[in-house]
Structure 1
Amino acid sequence: MRIDKYLWCIRYFKTRNIATEACKKGHVKINGDTIKPSKLIFNGEKITVRKDQINYVIEVLDIPTSRVGAKLVDLYRKDITPAEEFKKFELLKYSKDYYRKKGTGRPTKKDRRDLDEFQDE
């Protein structure tokens, strides 16, 4: 089965087109090698998928015949993503919250003065 179809079947991507684009952009690797969307996959291969700034690592257990339900996904893949990847994502979320909240507009003069004062200290 093609890698883009496999990632769509096990619900890592919402559409097959998105899975194909991820392969073309180099976000999907098999055993450390960047691949094309038409690359065939087999049981036992390790796939690395970069999605939402997390590098998911999946081991192929079996090849589905078509898209599977969410409860059946674990029959076809084994998620071996290291816990550090999720910790990095949590830290990234906190670092974004430190800055201005979305929708507050441009910084005011007072905000700039406060930043300058903070940097001078």
Structure 2
Amino acid sequence: MSSDPTSVDPKSPDPKPVDPKVAAAIAAAEAAGPQGASSVRVDSWIWSVRLVKTRSMGATACRGGHVRVNGERVKPAHGVRVGDEVRLRHEGRERVVVVTRLIRKRVGPPVATQCYIDNSPPPPPREAVAPAGVRDRGAGRPTKRDRREMERLRGVTGPGSVSGPGPVPGKGFGNAPGKPRP
């Protein structure tokens, strides 16, 4: 590789510019990868390319049926090869990636993205609405009006709330049985 940051990786199926530092890290990860083997454990691979936080989370996802390789549910020890399509359902989102490099060692995010082609659907948009009932820090204790507004936003109804049924006659809010009023 040349030291030009716009150089292209010849091994990659879709030529992208590669930074020299990233190229060096990719070479180190491939050197630490499978020696002469044409496959890597799926749980190890999805961990090493940072699709899951820990290898045990990858293994758990495989056991739970959340990982598919080429459309089939797989066990954690299943081998992935270059060109395989890996589908992972994780944290409410489905990731669809095509394997371009086999690595076993966990690498940094810029290197990890060079090891797969991401065909995932875009993530769902975040809610633009402010969370209900959140107050500014240092605003002090909420007033009764503020508290009722927070309860209304949360959908909480309780005794004495405007939208709730209120106290039931003969139940609660009075003196405990057997105790006289002062």
Distance 2:82 2:56 in 1: 23
SS in 2 for 1:18: helix
SS for the counterpart of 2:52 is: coil
* Pair 1:43-2:82 in alignment: yes
Give the aligned partner of residue 62 of structure 1. 101
In terms of Rg, which structure is larger? 2
The alignment yields a C-alpha RMSD, in angstroms, of 2.6
Deviations 1:55-87 (A, max 9, x none): 11000001014111111012211111123xx1x
Question: Once the 2 structures are TM-superposed, how far is the Cα of residue 100 of structure 1 from its aligned partner?
Answer: 5.5
Q: Which has the higher contact order (CA 8 A, sep 6+)?
A: 1
Q: Which runs of 4+ in 1 moved over 6 A?
A: none
Bigger helix fraction: 1
Aligned length: 105
**1:11 matched to 2:60:** no
Q: What is the aligned-residue identity percentage?
A: 26
> Which sections of structure 2, spanning at least 5 residues, go unmatched?
1-39, 135-149, 165-182
* TM-score of the aligned structures, taking structure 1 as reference length: 0.73
Structure 1: unaligned runs, 5 residues or longer: 114-121
Equivalences for residues 1-121 of structure 1 within 5 A: 1-83=40-122, 86=123, 89-90=124-125, 93-94=126-127, 107-109=156-158, 110=161, 113=164
Query: TM-score, normalised to structure 2's length?
Result: 0.50
